[in-house]
Structure 1
Amino acid sequence: MNSLVVFLQAAEGPAGGAWGTIAMFGLIILVFYFFMIRPQQKKQKAVQEARQAMKVGDKVITAGGVHGRIKEIGETYFIVEIAESVKIKIDKASVFAVSEEAPKA
């Protein structure tokens, strides 16, 4: 990347170098896209796909740390049973993880 900066500075010459400045801004935008924006979009897509794959009976953990089992799935919510006969309605966006079954001893 340092050689690119040197090359762009050399290309500016005595006339000012508006093109060099534009190229540097373009390079900064590309770096932000590939190292920050794109990975975050991939992560959000994976989380969304995991939420859509959840089904009744799956164990889940909410953003607040509540563990439970899905009893009903709505368009924007889950009904989660957190204890026997204790059910709560939570937004789908607040479910971040599906807990794995603990190995039986």
Structure 2
Amino acid sequence: MLELLAAAASADAPPAWIQWLPIIGMIAIFWFLIIRPQMKRQKEHQQKVAGLKKGDQVVTAGGLIGKVVKVTDDQVELELAQGVRVKAIKATIGDIIPPGGSAAND
């Protein structure tokens, strides 16, 4: 009798890999909907920042709008107003304002 119960219990149990399908599906959803687009945006931002040049108008992460006066390896010097210059870390540049336009995140 015990043999029949053991055989019936093992026949009803699904394979072990089926139990992992929901978890694998959730990971795939997170990858394609959250992680991958974020990595793409980060890569685009890094390319924008690497292409900064003198004369570009930028918006910092703090919301300051200024014109790039000088570019070094990891810093930019911004002119916020006539005679007002500040240094900013390149990574804090939020967006580059196209000539005659407004920033994309305004």
TM-score by length of structure 1 reads 0.78
Cα drift, residue 45 of structure 1: 0.5
Query: 2 CA distance for matches of 1:101 and 1:57?
Result: 10
Partner letter of residue 79 of structure 2?
E
Q: Which structure has the larger Rg over C-alpha atoms?
A: 2
**Which residues of structure 2 form unaligned runs of 5+?**
1-10, 102-106
Deviations 1:60-97 (A, max 9, x none): 11111111110111111110011112110011111111
State the match for 2:67 in structure 1.
69
TM-score by length of structure 2 reads 0.77
SS in 1 for 2:36: helix
Partner letter of residue 67 of structure 2?
R
Percent sequence identity over aligned pairs: 32
RMSD: 1.6
Indicate which of 34, 47, 62 corresponds to 1:49: 47
SS in 1 for 2:97: coil
Residue 19 (structure 1) aligned with residue 21 (structure 2): no
Residue 59 (structure 1) aligned with residue 35 (structure 2): no
Query: 2 CA distance for matches of 1:30 and 1:62?
Result: 34
Query: 1 CA distance for matches of 2:86 and 2:69?
Result: 10
Aligned length: 91
Deviating beyond 4 angstroms after TM superposition, the runs of 4 or more aligned structure 1 residues are none
**Which residues of structure 1 form unaligned runs of 5+?**
1-12
